A and B are shown apart, each in its own frame.
Chain A
């Protein structure tokens, strides 16, 4: 087994007992693996985000948890109970649907009460629970309205209230904010997290929006092609990606393919044709010499200079090809001799502090980085 990330990631807190266990879960449609042997453990009160582009299998995984798809093989254990083969209506799990799936012929309170009525709770308790939910999402005034009389944000809150009304052991959110416009989405993200934390429900959400996942989730699972590639906190995922897909999917990065030429306990050198110089890393990786690796360096870690840096490694000369000025910082696209374009995020204060003119299109510049910053990826 190879350790993919070079820097040791902080140990995950594993003190709490597993609440939801997904073991070897597989879903095949015909010959295609929609979900391919996924193992995942979720702790109680966690907000977990499954992040991936469309068709990566995240929605299928969620639907299997809800009981709407039958797994081809594998097990799902929730709070000690094997729920793998339970029908959706027998699971202590509720879901908030992507387009909310509110019942159009029922009022807001009837929508929220639906699950409670199905559970045959006493009328008084249903009313009390509906009121509690309406207060939670601040929609008391709208109790008698029909869904189509509400705005998108209000509908989203009704859907949330309806899925929380039965006090599920696990709440599933399918693209919870996907139907809202961008501005409303950012505002709603924190509101939604606050509500979920107030209720203390264990929660798995599915999203393709990395910002949404980073803002809302305590942990993120990156999915691609049916596989769960990496699981970790937002900062772990960003700072210690374990593969090229994660590195490129979360945030921006510069990737340099290369071969390991020196592999010592405290230093590794990688020959990269694209960079034109050696990449030096000040801690070792365990891997055979000559191995094909990718070095990932984030744009904000790439330093831009007019003068050549002192080191001959971790550096290259190039020309400014493009500048995206974004106010407090600019993104420079530097074209190296090899044709490789390197992105560098430069704070606007950088040139002012150095007493220099900012480089402009076509200027010769140097890119460089500290040897402790890159991440070496083996897959």
Chain B
């Protein structure tokens, strides 16, 4: 009885707790997105800001709503955009795959390490976050450059006689992408692997499964949600990544982030840039929705597992 009354009294507080994040998302995500959406239906104009108004009053008192669909038409018809989206998806996909292949063994090793050194290892994974992201990318530039540390070392030791082309190509792009996103793969994987009941593996061994089989039949399926969470954490931001392809990628690397930049700052075409951005959000909403569904299902399943 008392508990019930207490809960009733708490209710407004609960509303605030839930409402605050929603308010945050409204102000900083939904409203900006609606503004971008609005601009994407405008036309380029020589004005400040550099696009036409959607709604205007005519001299004769008519209300004109001008929706410019040309930007979207252009995106759909010009092959450049399709190529860019596909290329972005490909880069994000390969990055995710590499992160998974490298991150899984690391996460597994940390999760199975002795508890007293586990935190140290986790800290090592998160340590790069203490330095600015941009600085770390510049550090890679210093390493991979034609006259960078790696080439200098290889030349000095006589392993190679001409500097290797390590920079401004797919190799450097994927290397730095995987480097930057690896922690986002390792952490969710770790959190799933560490809470796994190791007696399940003993049970599998007891029933005749060798360690490798037990991993394949027990550990891997039970870490599925961790794999999905990690993959989403890497894939979604990787699609829109701008800094890494711009700084270390090849000049022919097509990425949405780069196209967006070009439209905004080089062409000063805000409506086109907004249309490209809107399209990207739509493209990503599918994996985000999938991610969300898995998250909630996982929360439900957690009670049982």
A103-B218, A105-B221 known; A87+B199 contact, CB < 8 A: no
The verdict on B205 contacting chain A, using a C-beta distance below 8 Å, is yes
**Whole-angstrom CA separation of A104 from B219 in the bound complex:** 11
Give every chain A residue within 8 A of B305 (Cβ-Cβ): 104, 148
Residue among B207, B208, B303, B304 with the highest chain A CB neighbour number at 10 A? B207
A202-228, CB < 8 A from B: none
Measured CB to CB, the nearest residue on chain A to B224 is: A105
Asked if A89 and B304 sit within 8 Å, CB to CB, the answer is: no
Asked if A105 and B222 sit within 8 Å, CB to CB, the answer is: yes
Give every chain B residue within 8 A of A97 (Cβ-Cβ): 199, 202-203
The verdict on B2 contacting chain A, using a C-beta distance below 8 Å, is no
What is the CB-to-nearest-CB distance from A203 to chain B, in angstroms, rounded to a whole number? 15
The verdict on B297 contacting chain A, using a C-beta distance below 8 Å, is no
A114-B207, A118-B207 known; A88+B199 contact, CB < 8 A: no
Measured CB to CB, the nearest residue on chain A to B197 is: A101
B27-82, CB < 8 A from A: none
Q: What is the 8 Å Cβ interface bit string for chain B, positions 184-227, against chain A (1 contact, 0 not)?
A: 00000000000001011011111111100100011001101000
Asked if B206 and A94 sit within 8 Å, CB to CB, the answer is: yes
The verdict on A99 contacting chain B, using a C-beta distance below 8 Å, is yes
Measured CB to CB, the nearest residue on chain B to A100 is: B203
The verdict on A68 contacting chain B, using a C-beta distance below 8 Å, is yes
Give every chain B residue within 8 A of A146 (Cβ-Cβ): 304
Asked if A115 and B304 sit within 8 Å, CB to CB, the answer is: no
**Whole-angstrom CA separation of A102 from B236 in the bound complex:** 35
Tell me the count of chain B residues lying within 8 A, CB to CB, of chain A.
Answer: 21
Tell me the count of chain A residues lying within 8 A, CB to CB, of chain B.
Answer: 27
A103-B218, A118-B213, A148-B305 known; A162+B207 contact, CB < 8 A: yes
Residue among B208, B218, B222, B305 with the highest chain A CB neighbour number at 10 A? B208
Give every chain A residue within 8 A of B221 (Cβ-Cβ): 105
Give every chain A residue within 8 A of B303 (Cβ-Cβ): 148
Asked if B202 and A99 sit within 8 Å, CB to CB, the answer is: no
Asked if A148 and B199 sit within 8 Å, CB to CB, the answer is: no
A159-178, CB < 8 A from B: 162-163, 166
The verdict on A95 contacting chain B, using a C-beta distance below 8 Å, is yes
Give every chain A residue within 8 A of B203 (Cβ-Cβ): 95, 97, 101-103
Measured CB to CB, the nearest residue on chain B to A68 is: B202
Give every chain B residue within 8 A of A94 (Cβ-Cβ): 206-207
Give every chain B residue within 8 A of A93 (Cβ-Cβ): 206
Asked if B200 and A118 sit within 8 Å, CB to CB, the answer is: no
Asked if A103 and B200 sit within 8 Å, CB to CB, the answer is: yes
**Whole-angstrom CA separation of A149 from B218 in the bound complex:** 19
Measured CB to CB, the nearest residue on chain A to B221 is: A105
Q: What is the 8 Å Cβ interface bit string for chain A, positions 108-133, against chain B (1 contact, 0 not)?
A: 00000011001100000000000000
**Whole-angstrom CA separation of A105 from B208 in the bound complex:** 18
**Whole-angstrom CA separation of A250 from B92 in the bound complex:** 66
Give every chain B residue within 8 A of A88 (Cβ-Cβ): 202, 205-206
Measured CB to CB, the nearest residue on chain A to B196 is: A104
The verdict on A231 contacting chain B, using a C-beta distance below 8 Å, is no
The verdict on A315 contacting chain B, using a C-beta distance below 8 Å, is no
**12 pairs from A and B in contact (CB 8 Å cutoff):** A67-B205, A68-B205, A87-B205, A89-B208, A101-B199, A101-B203, A103-B200, A103-B203, A104-B222, A115-B208, A118-B209, A118-B213
Residues in chain B within 8 A of chain A (CB atoms):
197, 199-200, 202-210, 213, 217-218, 221-222, 224, 303-305
Which 6 residue pairs are nearest across A and B when measured between Cβ atoms? Answer: A148-B304, A115-B207, A118-B208, A101-B203, A101-B199, A88-B205
